[in-house]
């Protein structure tokens, strides 16, 4: 199945997965960019945003759990986030943390909060519509991860 065919399925979990990859890149860039400020709260939340980018990477690309040397506790925590509702909840928690940047002042971390929220909404819509989670074959889902043992 090509990328175009994946998007044509109208499955919100595919949209969520690709939006998650975009969000991961955005969180990584904005996390680094906002580390160099003089406000303590912004530094803490940008570090959380940076850490979130790595968590998203492991959530969205399941092949990496088999390749990268991580702890068994981390692997088990990530493996629990498999359903659409669990992914929506994980993204909602990460989004709320980034929305907290508004307590101190408006920064570019709001863009990360918006994209985290949109990704969570995609997964929530997939869950509400009863669509089964379908991992993108391009990102290591539906058979690619099983090939590497």
Query: pLDDT 10s per residue in the chain (149 long)?
Result: 565 665 667 788 888 888 999 999 999 999 999 999 888 999 999 999 999 999 999 888 877 878 888 888 988 888 888 889 999 999 999 999 999 988 888 899 999 999 999 999 999 999 998 887 776 666 555 544 444 43
| Strand ranges inside the chain, DSSP E | none
Whether 73 is covered by a domain: the verdict is yes
Whether 33 is covered by a domain: the verdict is yes
Contacts by residues 127-133 (CB-CB < 8 Å, ≥ 24 positions apart): 127/83, 127/84, 127/85, 127/88, 129/12, 131/11, 131/12, 131/13, 131/84, 132/13, 133/13, 133/82, 133/83, 133/84, 133/87
Whether 123 is covered by a domain: the verdict is yes
Whether 11 is covered by a domain: the verdict is no
> For position 118, what pLDDT does the model report?
96
Whether 146 is covered by a domain: the verdict is no
> For position 144, what pLDDT does the model report?
45
> For position 137, what pLDDT does the model report?
65
Rg of the chain over CA atoms, in angstroms?
16
Q: Which two tokens stand for residue 130?
A: 């009863």
> For position 67, what pLDDT does the model report?
84
Q: What share of the chain is helix, strand, coil (3-state, %, to 5)?
A: 75, 0, 25
Whether 52 is covered by a domain: the verdict is yes
Whether 7 is covered by a domain: the verdict is no
Whether 53 is covered by a domain: the verdict is yes
Q: Read off the pTM.
A: 0.84
Range of the domain at 61: 22-138
How many domains are contained in the chain? 1
Q: Which two tokens stand for residue 112?
A: 């990360």
């Amino acid at each position: 199945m090509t990328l175009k065919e994946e998007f044509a399925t109208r499955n919100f979990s595919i949209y969520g997965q690709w939006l998650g990859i975009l969000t991961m890149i955005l969180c990584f860039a904005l996390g680094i960019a906002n580390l160099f400020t003089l406000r303590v709260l912004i530094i803490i939340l940008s570090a959380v945003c940076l850490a979130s980018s790595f968590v998203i990477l492991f959530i969205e690309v399941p092949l990496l759990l088999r390749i990268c040397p991580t702890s068994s506790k981390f692997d088990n925590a990530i493996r629990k986030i498999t359903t659409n509702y669990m992914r929506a909840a994980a993204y909602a928690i990460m989004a709320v943390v980034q929305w907290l940047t508004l307590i101190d002042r408006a920064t570019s971390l709001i863009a990360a909060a918006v994209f985290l929220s949109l990704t969570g909404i995609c997964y929530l819509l997939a869950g509400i519509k009863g669509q089964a989670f379908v991992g993108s074959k391009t990102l290591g889902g539906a058979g690619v991860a099983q090939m590497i043992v």
